C-alpha cells in the first residue's frame, strides 16, 4: 500500500488537495472510490485515513480530499457552503475519471456523507454509497450555528468555536443549509447504500440513521456502532471494522453479472 499526494482545481479555479491511498503495486485496483470529510474536518482525520488505507489493502484505491478552505486546499472557508462542497465533489470525480478511473464507490462522513448522497445520481460511474454518522437533514447544523453565535445572522459573519478551533462563518452558509431539502434528494437514491452510525453519537443522534434507512431507495443496509463516538476515535477497532464491512459489502456490486 502507498499514498500519493495530488492536486486538482474545482470549477471556481480553486486548487484542492487530496491523497490517493493505493493498493499494492502488483495488482491493479479493483475499483476507485472517493471519501469526503465532515464539517470543518479534513482528509487527514484519523478515522478517514485509517479506513482509506484499510480499503486500499482490500484492493480499492481511495481518493480522500479536502474541501475548499480546509487542509491542503486553497480558498477561504468562510466563503464555502454545502453547494461549494458539491462542486468540490464533482471536481474530485472529474480528476479521478481523467487521470485514473471513474469512481464507483462514494464514501462520506457526517456532512461529507450528505454531499455524497446528493451527488451519487450525478456521478454516473457510482455503483454504491457508504455514509458514516451522516445527517438526514442539514437544518440541524444551521440551527446549531445560529445559536452558537447569533452575531452571524445579525452582522453577516462572526466566529464560532468548533472542535477546539475558531472559525469565521458567514450568514450565507446558514441560509444555504436551511434551504437544502436533503430528504427529497435521499428519497431519489436508487443505488446500494450502506449506513453506519454510532449508537451514542452526541453530535448526530441515532435517529438520523433510522431516517436515512427509511428514506433511501436502493438496496440498503445499516450497521450500528455500539459505543462509538461521532469521529470514531474512542474505540480504535471501529475503523478497521467499518473498512472490512465496506470491502465485503461492496464486493458484490463489483461483480459484472449483478
* Domain boundary assignment for the chain: 2-136+182-254, 139-179
Classified as helix, coil or strand, 62 is strand
Q: What is the pLDDT of residue 257?
A: 38
Q: What is the pLDDT of residue 246?
A: 98
Contact 125, 119 (CB under 8 A): no
Distance CA 51, CA 59 (A): 13
**Mean pLDDT within 98-115:** 98
Q: Is the pLDDT of residue 154 over 70?
A: yes
Which residues, at least 6 apart from 232, have a Cβ–Cβ distance to it below 8 Å?
A: 47, 132, 133, 198, 225, 238, 239, 242
Predicted confidence band of residue 255 (pLDDT cuts 50, 70, 90): low
Query: For 17-63, what is each residue's pLDDT tens digit?
Result: 999 999 987 788 999 999 999 999 999 999 999 999 999 999 999 99
Contact 21, 62 (CB under 8 A): yes
Question: Mean of the per-residue pLDDT values for the chain?
Answer: 95
Q: Tell me how far CA of residue 71 lies from CA of 13, 35, 41, 216, 243, in angstroms.
A: 17, 14, 8, 31, 23
- Give the chain's count of helices (H) and strands (E): 9, 10
CATH topology of domain 2-136+182-254: Rossmann fold (3.40.50)
Half-sphere exposure for 18 (CA within 13 Å, toward CB): 30
Distance CA 1, CA 60 (A): 10
Q: What is the pLDDT of residue 120?
A: 96
Query: For 188-213, what is each residue's pLDDT tens digit?
Result: 999 999 999 999 999 999 999 999 99
Beta bridge partners of 239: none
Alpha helices in the chain (DSSP H): 46-57, 82-99, 111-119, 139-148, 151-155, 171-179, 182-186, 207-215, 237-254
Q: Is the pLDDT of residue 258 over 60?
A: no
Q: What is the pLDDT of residue 164?
A: 84
Higher pLDDT, 118 or 236: 118
Contact 146, 171 (CB under 8 A): no
Half-sphere exposure for 157 (CA within 13 Å, toward CB): 10
Give the CA dihedral 56, 218, 88, 1, nearest 10 degrees: 0
Distance CA 43, CA 93 (A): 15
Q: Is the pLDDT of residue 256 over 70?
A: no
Burial class (CB in 10 A: 0-12, 13-18, 19+), 98: exposed
Distance CA 245, CA 137 (A): 25
Q: Is the pLDDT of residue 171 over 90?
A: yes
**Mean pLDDT within 142-166:** 91
Distance CA 172, CA 77 (A): 12
Amino acid at each position: 500500500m502507498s499514498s500519493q499526494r495530488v492536486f486538482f482545481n474545482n470549477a471556481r479555479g480553486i486548487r484542492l488537495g487530496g491523497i490517493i491511498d493505493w493498493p499494492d503495486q502488483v495488482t491493479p485496483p479493483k475499483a476507485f472510490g472517493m471519501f469526503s470529510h465532515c464539517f470543518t474536518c479534513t482528509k487527514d482525520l484519523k478515522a478517514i485515513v485509517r479506513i482509506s488505507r484499510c480499503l486500499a489493502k482490500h484492493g480499492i484505491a481511495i481518493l480522500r480530499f479536502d474541501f475548499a478552505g480546509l487542509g491542503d486546499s486553497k480558498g477561504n472557508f468562510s466563503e464555502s457552503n454545502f453547494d461549494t462542497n458539491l462542486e468540490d465533489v464533482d471536481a474530485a470525480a472529474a480528476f479521478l475519471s481523467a487521470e485514473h478511473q471513474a469512481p464507483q464507490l462514494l464514501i462520506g462522513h457526517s456532512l461529507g456523507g450528505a454531499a455524497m448522497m446528493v451527488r451519487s445520481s450525478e456521478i454516473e460511474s457510482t455503483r454504491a454509497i457508504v455514509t458514516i454518522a451522516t445527517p438526514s437533514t442539514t437544518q440541524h447544523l444551521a440551527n446549531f450555528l445560529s445559536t452558537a453565535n447569533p452575531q452571524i445572522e445579525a452582522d453577516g459573519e462572526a466566529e464560532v468555536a468548533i472542535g477546539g478551533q475558531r472559525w469565521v462563518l458567514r450568514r450565507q452558509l446558514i441560509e444555504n443549509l436551511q434551504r437544502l431539502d436533503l430528504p427529497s434528494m435521499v428519497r431519489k437514491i436508487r443505488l446500494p447504500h450502506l449506513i453506519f452510525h454510532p449508537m451514542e453519537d452526541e453530535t448526530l443522534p441515532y435517529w438520523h440513521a433510522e431516517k436515512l434507512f427509511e428514506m433511501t431507495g436502493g438496496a440498503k443496509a445499516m450497521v450500528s456502532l455500539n459505543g462509538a463516538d461521532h469521529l470514531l476515535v474512542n474505540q480504535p477497532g471501529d475503523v478497521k471494522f467499518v473498512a472490512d464491512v465496506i470491502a465485503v459489502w461492496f464486493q458484490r456490486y463489483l461483480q459484472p453479472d449483478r
